[in-house]
């Protein structure tokens, strides 16, 4: 078996000609260094973008997703949410460096159902009909369970592919289904020297540029599935960097402090406050609560977001959204997961109805908790609510929902 080496430094020259006739290609790591593999997969995707050809990269490493980190994005709705919860691929896709990236998304207890979903065959046909390219980043085991057969396979391994290894045997088993092995992405043309000094040298990574815009799906010619076209959307927040330890004999690493009730489900937005408050009250009957957040659009226009929650984690927010779907509180497929950890806590108890008549979007807090106003992604987003509270003569403090002043 001929194994064509694809050095990372030459991908921009090698990849375009290698993938020009394929519609779906699997990118399979054959290394324990999954951080390296994720960055290599991202390099392949960017190298494949030539001219007007549309290229999409999907993270199917569902059990431990990290490809979004290589792309430079925070966790977001992804392929699991699209296949299991009906979230639109439009909302799940982000365009970065010319590539339409779709993250793994929410946790699922049945990843095999995602790999074996019949929807892959329709997507495969749609990308082929449009002359576009779909790249799937997944393990050899997941590749064996994929419902469609890729047009080609690219192995990711810094020191080359070893067919005799356990991962190699899994890849060979997948190749027996009829897909060609296009090449092996590696760090160099030849294996790195086996010197301890050389092995200790860290590899340099190209920093991903998170120039993110939203995309929509154009109607596809095959099976009703389509490709991605551009449309403006606010950028996704960057991932929070971990704290670095400076001591040689440091105590065990502790994760940085995070808000315990940071996540919400944005389910609607209205041009008038009464409509938003009406929906929030109805949603609060099903879930822990709801928020109404005034968000400025332009100089004079204000829209009111209705957010369900709050929830301690993204997965719990996804579960809450699914519960709202099951109970018929909101239509299935509606609702975006949003990290909005800030709210205004009122200095003293206040009558919610009186606040609402003054234009303040107050909601009733749970027993023993202060009355909260709004749920904001950042302190800056709270400017409209702050101004209304001030006009109403209501003292309030912007807090995270562990009630610490930011």
pLDDT score of 354 more than 50: yes
Q: Which residue in the block uniquely carries the two structure tokens 């699914």? A: 322
Kindly tell me the burial class for residue 271, based on how many C-beta atoms sit within 10 Å of its own C-beta (0-12, 13-18, 19 or more).
Answer: exposed
- What is residue 245's predicted lDDT score, i.e. its pLDDT? 40
Give the helix/strand (H/E) hosting 173: helix 166-175
- What is residue 151's predicted lDDT score, i.e. its pLDDT? 94
pLDDT score of 258 more than 60: no
Distance CA 26, CA 231 (A): 27
Distance CA 353, CA 393 (A): 15
pLDDT score of 18 more than 50: yes
Contact assessment for residue 389 and residue 344, using Cβ atoms and an 8 Å cutoff: yes
Distance CA 340, CA 265 (A): 9
pLDDT score of 68 more than 50: yes
22 or 404, higher pLDDT: 22
pLDDT score of 22 more than 70: yes
Tally: H helices and E strands in the chain: 14, 18
Range name among 67-76, 97-106, 108-117, 207-216 with the lowest pLDDT average = 207-216
Rounded to the nearest integer, the mean pLDDT of the chain is: 78
pLDDT score of 280 more than 60: yes
Nearest CA-CA partner of 107 in 310, 322, 253, 256: 322
Confidence of residue 364 (pLDDT cuts 50, 70, 90): low
Range name among 23-27, 45-49, 330-334, 384-388 with the lowest pLDDT average = 330-334
270 or 171, higher pLDDT: 270
- What is residue 224's predicted lDDT score, i.e. its pLDDT? 34
Distance CA 67, CA 36 (A): 10
pLDDT score of 338 more than 70: yes
Distance CA 39, CA 328 (A): 41
Confidence of residue 87 (pLDDT cuts 50, 70, 90): confident
pLDDT score of 148 more than 90: yes
pLDDT score of 26 more than 50: yes
Contact assessment for residue 337 and residue 77, using Cβ atoms and an 8 Å cutoff: yes
346 by DSSP, 3-state: which?
strand
Residue 135 dihedral angles phi and psi, to the nearest 5°: -105, 130
pLDDT score of 206 more than 50: no
Distance CA 58, CA 247 (A): 38
- What is residue 184's predicted lDDT score, i.e. its pLDDT? 93
Query: CA angle, corner 215, sides to 213 and 218, nearest 5?
Result: 160
Q: What is the CA radius of gyration of the chain?
A: 24
pLDDT score of 180 more than 60: yes
Distance CA 299, CA 82 (A): 35
Strand order in the sheet with 213-217: 5-7, 181-186, 152-156, 24-29, 133-137, 55-59, 99-102, 93-96, 213-217, 228-230
Domains and CATH numbers, the chain: 5-192+211-230 (3.40.50.300), 263-400 (no CATH)
- What is residue 179's predicted lDDT score, i.e. its pLDDT? 83
The size of the chain, in residues, is: 406
- What is residue 369's predicted lDDT score, i.e. its pLDDT? 55
Confidence of residue 231 (pLDDT cuts 50, 70, 90): very low
pLDDT score of 197 more than 70: no
Q: Which residue in the block uniquely carries the two structure tokens 């930011």? A: 406
pLDDT score of 230 more than 50: no
Distance CA 149, CA 16 (A): 21
344 by DSSP, 3-state: which?
strand
Contact assessment for residue 99 and residue 56, using Cβ atoms and an 8 Å cutoff: yes
DSSP 246: -
| Preceding omega of 156 cis (within 30 degrees of 0) | no
Alpha carbon distances (Å) from 299 to 10, 155, 232: 48, 51, 19
90 or 241, higher pLDDT: 90
Distance CA 331, CA 322 (A): 10
Mean pLDDT of 203-223: 36
pLDDT score of 97 more than 80: yes
Confidence of residue 247 (pLDDT cuts 50, 70, 90): very low
Confidence of residue 183 (pLDDT cuts 50, 70, 90): very high
Mean pLDDT of 213-234: 37
The 10s digit of each residue's pLDDT in 291-334 is 899 988 766 678 889 998 888 888 888 888 888 888 888 888 78
Contact assessment for residue 380 and residue 374, using Cβ atoms and an 8 Å cutoff: no
């Amino acid at each position: 078996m001929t194994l064509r080496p694809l050095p990372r430094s030459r991908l921009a020259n090698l990849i375009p000609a290698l993938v020009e006739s394929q519609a779906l290609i699997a990118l399979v790591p054959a290394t324990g260094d999954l951080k390296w593999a994720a960055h290599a997969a991202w390099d392949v995707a960017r190298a494949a973008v030539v001219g007007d050809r549309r290229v999409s990269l999907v993270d199917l490493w569902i059990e431990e997703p990290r490809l979004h980190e290589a792309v430079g994005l925070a966790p977001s709705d992804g392929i699991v949410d699209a296949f299991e919860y009906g979230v639109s691929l439009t909302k799940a896709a982000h365009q970065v460096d010319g590539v339409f990236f779709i993250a793994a998304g929410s946790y699922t207890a049945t990843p095999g159902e995602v790999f074996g979903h019949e929807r892959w065959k329709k997507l495969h046909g749609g990308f082929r009909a449009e002359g576009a390219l779909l790249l799937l980043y997944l393990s050899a085991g997941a590749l064996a369970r994929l419902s469609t057969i890729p047009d080609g396979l690219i192995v990711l391994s810094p020191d080359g592919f070893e067919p005799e290894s356990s991962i190699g045997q899994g890849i060979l088993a997948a190749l027996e289904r009829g897909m060609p092995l296009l090449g092996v992405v590696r760090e160099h043309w030849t294996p790195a020297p086996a010197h301890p000094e050389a092995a200790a040298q860290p590899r340099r990574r190209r920093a991903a540029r998170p120039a993110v815009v939203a995309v929509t799906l154009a109607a596809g010619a095959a099976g009703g599935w389509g490709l991605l076209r551009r449309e403006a959307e606010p950028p996704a927040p960057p991932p929070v960097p971990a704290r670095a330890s400076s001591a040689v004999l440091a105590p065990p690493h502790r994760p940085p402090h995070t808000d315990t009730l940071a996540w919400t489900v944005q389910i609607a937005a209205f041009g008038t406050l009464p409509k938003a408050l009406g929906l929030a009250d109805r949603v609060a009957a099903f879930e822990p609560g709801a928020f109404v957040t005034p968000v400025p659009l332009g100089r004079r226009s204000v829209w009111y977001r209705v957010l369900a929650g709050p929830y301690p984690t993204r997965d719990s927010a996804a579960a809450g959204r699914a519960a709202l779907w099951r109970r018929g509180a909101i239509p299935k497929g509606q609702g975006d997961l949003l990290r909005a950890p800030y709210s205004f806590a009122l200095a003293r108890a206040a009558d919610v109805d009186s606040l609402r008549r003054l234009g303040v979007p107050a909601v009733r807090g749970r027993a023993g908790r202060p009355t909260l106003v709004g749920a904001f992604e950042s302190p800056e987003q709270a400017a409209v609510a702050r101004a209304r509270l001030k006009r109403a003569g209501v003292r309030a403090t912007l807090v995270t929902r562990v009630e610490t002043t930011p």
